[in-house]
Amino acid sequence: MSAAERLTDALYGAGWGTVKKLPEPVAVRLGRTIADLAWKQRGKGVQRLESNYARVLPDAGPERLRELSRAGMRSYLRYWMESFRLPAWSRERVRTGFDPKDVHYLTDGLAAPQGVILALPHMANYDLAGAWVVTKLQTPFTTVAERLKPETLYDRFVAYREGLGMEVLPHSGGSAFGTLARRLRDGGLVCLVADRDLSASGVEVDFFGERTRMPAGPALLAQQTGALLMPVTLWYDDSPVMQGRVHPPVEVPESGTRGEKTSVMTQALADAFATGIADHPEDWHMLQRLWLADLDPAKGPL
């Protein structure tokens, strides 16, 4: 393990070990202070966040984009402060910490014999949403996690999410899809973050007027298992309670090849994500390159 990897692991370990012990008002202030310092330094992540917001709000001028990126960093650090503290939250705090709209789509789906797939973008705090599903709805679910470096950091994230009641599968290794399909055929719930996939297997979609790739997995799982596929978007307001919306299920097209159906369904996910992100852009934490034009210097800005 390199020195940088040891430092990264130690910082996350300190977060889960120390921040969760802080009084909530102190943790909130700490998160906002860190966010503002990072925003003022205008590192690559902040610049990329601002560039991504420019795609969401093409008419926004430089001042509006800077305001938005500052709000975005504050939202991002709120996510981290909440995540570090979630293991110490009471069950009642988790149950009352999230107020999703149109949750009947989810509860009706869970009451039916087929499985349910929830697909989410990187908005607000999807770990809190997951803990709410386990605690409030008393429904366990399965998800996947990207293998991080160092391995000890990946192990921390797995232990953290398993501690919240989730079954966590590694993204790599090739066996995750089969396990997810089995869980769905048994009538289970699967939750997947699905707004960024830059691999060769990603499905190209139109997203805020430009092309990007999103993972094929949610649509393929729905086709293969008969599970319902539902987009979910999340956001914060001025209260301590996170907000969200469960969107209507994405239908499987009646005709077409598997690839054609996957393309149509993934575009429907992208459209639902775009609706939520356009309404609450500051709560979309995309600090990485996303659009294909940003991946090729010949096609657009880096």
Please tell me the distance from the alpha carbon of residue 109 to that of residue 111, in angstroms, as a whole number: 5
299 located within any domain: no
277 located within any domain: yes
pLDDT score for 171: 75
185 located within any domain: yes
166 located within any domain: yes
65 located within any domain: no
Are residues 293 and 210 in contact, defined by beta-carbon separation less than 8 angstroms?
A: yes
Full domain range(s) for residue 169:
91-294
Which pair of structure tokens corresponds to residue 106?
């989810």
56 located within any domain: no
Mean pLDDT of 161-176: 82
274 located within any domain: yes
The total number of structural domains that make up the chain? 1
Are residues 189 and 110 in contact, defined by beta-carbon separation less than 8 angstroms?
A: yes
Residues 61-89: pLDDT tens digits? 999 999 999 999 999 999 999 988 998 99
Which pair of structure tokens corresponds to residue 111?
């009451």
Are residues 268 and 261 in contact, defined by beta-carbon separation less than 8 angstroms?
A: no
195 closest CA partner among 69, 132, 100, 283 = 283
Strands (E), the chain: 98-101, 116-120, 141-145, 166-170, 189-193, 203-207, 210-214, 228-235, 242-246
* Bridge partner residues of 233 (DSSP): 245
Please tell me the distance from the alpha carbon of residue 133 to that of residue 230, in angstroms, as a whole number: 14
Residues 47-66: pLDDT tens digits? 999 999 999 999 999 999 99
Q: How many residues does the chain have?
A: 302
Q: Is the peptide bond before 248 cis (omega within 30 degrees of 0)?
A: no
Model confidence at 173: pLDDT above 90: no
Residues 88-101: pLDDT tens digits? 999 999 999 999 99
Furthest-apart CA atoms within the chain: distance in Å: 55
Residues 116-159: pLDDT tens digits? 999 999 999 999 999 999 999 999 999 998 765 666 676 777 78
256 located within any domain: yes
pLDDT score for 40: 96
pLDDT score for 162: 84
